[in-house]
A = this chain, B = another copy of it.
Amino acid sequence: MQSILILCLTDPYSLKSLLQMNLNKDNTMQDYELQFKKFLLKRGLKLTRSRSLILNASFALHEHFDAEKLHSILKGMNVSLATVYRTLPLLVDAGLIQLAVRSDGRDRYEHILGHPKHAHWLCENCKTVTETNISSLLPLIEQEAKALNFTLDQITINISGTCWKCSNSEANPQS
């Protein structure tokens, strides 16, 4: 019998150990996996072991991640970095993850499901990213989209500056 590794984690900390589990596919398919499978089928692509692992690792993380991070989580599971890079755009197109911010020359993603649209507040000093809800902004943006006849896909609102903590410590430097 052919079986594949499937993760159904909500807790990122137990990820590594649970990655060892070898469950039957049909019993554990998650919503997002079904969504991904549907999307792939429509494109004549397949839901493979690697893609499933990458998808589940993404959803197990409740923080921003980049290709390298996913790859390191899947270390020892024989998933190459190239495949991670090949899979990320698929997940984006499938509407499962989105590019959150780009900082330090790396693209950082986040999963979307059950994750309301939000803005990222990036502190230029300590690099911390804070999130806030943007539901109040959405109607205005959608209205503008309609005016432009623009089909919305992703909305990215990134605000950079200095967070409360850092602007306090900058106020009294090296003293």
Contacts and interface: CB of A to CB of B under 8 A. Distances in A.
Interface in A110-164: 119, 121, 123-124, 130, 132, 136-137, 140-141, 144-145, 148-164
A75 B124 CA distance: 33
A10 interface: no
A71 to B, nearest CB: 20
A86 interface: no
Contact of A159 (B124, B141, B149, B159): B141
Given A152-B159, A156-B159, 15 more contacts: A121-B148, A124-B153, A130-B148, A136-B140, A137-B141, A148-B164, A149-B163, A150-B159, A150-B161, A150-B164, A151-B163, A151-B167, A153-B159, A155-B158, A156-B158
